A and B are shown apart, each in its own frame.
Chain A
Amino acid sequence: DSGVTQTPKHLITATGQRVTLRCSPRSGDLSVYWYQQSLDQGLQFLIQYYNGEERAKGNILERFSAQQFPDLHSELNLSSLELGDSALYFCASSVGDGPQLFYGYTFGSGTRLTVV
């Protein structure tokens, strides 16, 4: 158990639908990052939040949005789903750019999204 919790583990939904993926960061981490990974591909950075505020955006589609709540958990919302959105979605957390020493990211086990 990495300490980063993602739910659900699997999600099957139809095209055009909307889903919400949830992530609880490791205790003490203030930053949350979302990544998309298609089959046999690398990690595509979507978005980062730090202590409730958006910090960085990657190649995130306009149909996708995210937020980080006061308790630091984060949700990734995917709407108007298309077949090509089928992928593994990972959340990672870190201390962020605060005063603590940086030790990289801790990843969750991911949510496998299948759009049919």
Chain B
Amino acid sequence: GESVGLHLPTLSVQEGDNSIINCAYSNSASDYFIWYKQESGKGPQFIIDIRSNMDKRQGQRVTVLLNKTVKHLSLQIAATQPGDSAVYFCAEGGKAAGNKLTFGGGTRVLVKP
């Protein structure tokens, strides 16, 4: 699965505010969704995942929402901190895709002090 090589959209957020990153996915048969965080010069790191039998899943300061009707995935970060500044990628996949992931293009989050 590959993502489109476009210039990354940027979300600027004030420190302490909540962030919402949105992602539209394409395959209605996808049953697994995941968010990755990539800091500059590092590899993507797992943040949170959700399977298609759920609408919402919460982690520490992060929540993923899945709307299968409109094929939309979102990541909410509560009380955004400077360490949250990074590029965030969503990905879809699962059994229907042979357990392969297709990545979104990524969103850059910049946290302003």
Contact A40 B8 (CB under 8 A): yes
Residue of B41, B43, B89 with most partner-chain A CB within 10 A: B43
- State how many residues of chain A have any CB contact under 8 Å with chain B: 33
Count B interface residues, CB 8 Å.
Answer: 31
Which residues on A sit within 8 Å (CB–CB) of B105? 42
Do B43 and A108 have beta carbons less than 8 Å apart? yes
User: Residues of B contacting A96 with CB < 8 Å?
Assistant: 99
A-B contact count (CB 8 A): 79
Residues of B contacting A: mostly: loop
The complex places the Cα of A2 from the Cα of B70 at a distance, in Å, of 33
Taking the complex as formed, is A97 at the interface, i.e. its CB lies under 8 A from any CB of chain B? yes
10 contacts between A and B (CB under 8 A): A31-B99, A42-B89, A43-B103, A45-B1, A58-B2, A97-B99, A102-B95, A104-B49, A107-B36, A107-B45
> Which 3 residue pairs across A and B have the least CB separation, nearest first?
A42-B3, A45-B2, A107-B43
